[in-house]
Amino acid sequence: MRHRYGHLAREYDRRWARYVEASVVGSLRRIDLAGVRDVLDVGCGTGTLLERATRAHPGRFAGLDLSLEMLEAARRKLGARAGLVAGSAATLPFRSRAFDLVVSTSTLHHWRDPVAAFAEIRRVLRPRGRVAITDWCGDSLLTRLRDRVLRRLEPAHGRVWRSVELAALLADAGFTDVRIERWRIGVRWSLMTGTARAGHN
């Protein structure tokens, strides 16, 4: 994974410009930043979501990614506006109860251990903190076909989840108020944003 996105980092923003822009804008539209101070973006990539969020909101922002090259691209974009850290979603290098909001866009389908990742996200959230996960939605046939192809051809690909499966992952990790909204970018991309609230840890 680190290797794969190391190669992609330089061309990622150009190659995926329209998708990234639309998915990040669509995700942010579904997140309420009111009252939020500390925000973590898991799998922040080149920092497009953080770039927009830091312009729109006066909180403290952190981004985490497996790929040093993606983080380097994010650093160029963000400067000191966000703290950027190398690491895995499954073992977050942050103290417990450090964040009010954890977001993640287009990375869940890469995670090798989503159960560990959601436990970690819950751990780093303050009580009543919120999580918002946007990714491809396996409810759509086209997405399931893409999933099947990528599993064979793309070593960095993990798997696509259906909306009920994302809801179950969140609920099993102890989140409450789980909601999944399905949405689209054109005809090709079926996405979902799962939002939920951390109970008391």
Ligand X SMILES: C[S@@+](CC[C@H](N)C(=O)[O-])C[C@H]1O[C@@H](n2cnc3c(N)ncnc32)[C@H](O)[C@@H]1O
Q: Which residues bind ligand X (CB under 6 A)?
A: 1, 5, 20, 23-24, 43-45, 48-49, 64-67, 70, 88-90, 105-107, 110-111
Q: Report, in Å, the least distance between residue 173 CB and ligand X.
A: 15
Which residue, judged by CB position, is nearest to ligand X in the bound state?
Answer: 45
Q: Report, in Å, the least distance between residue 171 CB and ligand X.
A: 21
Q: How many CA atoms lie within 13 A of 156 on its CB side?
A: 13
* CA 94 to each of CA 114, 146, 201: distance values in angstroms, whole numbers, following the listed order: 17, 34, 15
When the beta carbons of 20 and 167 are compared against ligand X, the nearer one is 20
Q: How many helices (H) and strands (E) does the chain have?
A: 7, 7
Q: Report, in Å, the least distance between residue 200 CB and ligand X.
A: 26
Largest CA distance in the chain: 44
When the beta carbons of 165 and 199 are compared against ligand X, the nearer one is 165
When the beta carbons of 49 and 169 are compared against ligand X, the nearer one is 49
When the beta carbons of 90 and 119 are compared against ligand X, the nearer one is 90
Element (H, E) at 50: helix 48-56
Closest by Cα among 100, 174, 92, 94 to 130: 100
* CA 34 to each of CA 6, 131, 179: distance values in angstroms, whole numbers, following the listed order: 34, 14, 18
